[in-house]
Amino acid sequence: MKKLEDKIIKKIYRMEAGKTIGQIISEVSLTILLILSSLFIFSVIVEILNEQASFDLFDFLRDDFEIIKENFLNNSLLFFQELPLPLIYILIGLSLLLVWLLYIVIINSNKIKNKLVSIYKFWLK
């Protein structure tokens, strides 16, 4: 019976090790992929805005407070109209996905840590 019990436990550990490592690899690679693609989209948006000279709309910020007060609303609206909206939507979507993924990783981190400790102890035993 002892032999059978050991066999079952060994199988469970092997299965769990594969599952946990797979989960870690997929979560880390997905996080890296989301960060890289968000950065890429962000740099494209900045590039487009630079080419359009949209940032010049905020040059008035160097002026006096009265001028800033007068122009802030109009210039901000103009700036938002010049934003490449499809790319902005994609960036928002990617950021939300990234936040959701990080939330899941943080919630599961303790569980995964415990699993790794158990697996490590079992294979060292």
Partner 1 sequence: MAELSDKDIIEKIKNGEIDYYSYIVKKYTTSIYRYIERKLFKKDEADDLVQNVFISFYKAIEKFDEKRPIKPYLFQIVQNELKMYYRSKKPTTSLYDVIYLEDDRLQDITDDDYLSHLNQVERNIFQYISKGYSYEEIEKLLKKPVNTIKSIVRRGRIKIKSAYADKK
Interface ranges with partner 1 (CB under 8 A): 1, 4-5, 7-9, 11-13, 15-16, 110-115, 118-119, 121-122
**DSSP assignment, residue 125?**
-
What helix, strand, coil percent values describe the chain, rounded to 5?
A: 95, 0, 5
Closest approach, Cβ 108 to partner 1, in A, equals 9
Measured from the CB atom, the residue of 48 and 116 that comes closer to partner 1 is 116
Measured from the CB atom, the residue of 77 and 111 that comes closer to partner 1 is 111
Q: How far is CA 90 from CA 28, 42, 68, 125, in A?
A: 21, 10, 31, 49
Measured from the CB atom, the residue of 49 and 112 that comes closer to partner 1 is 112
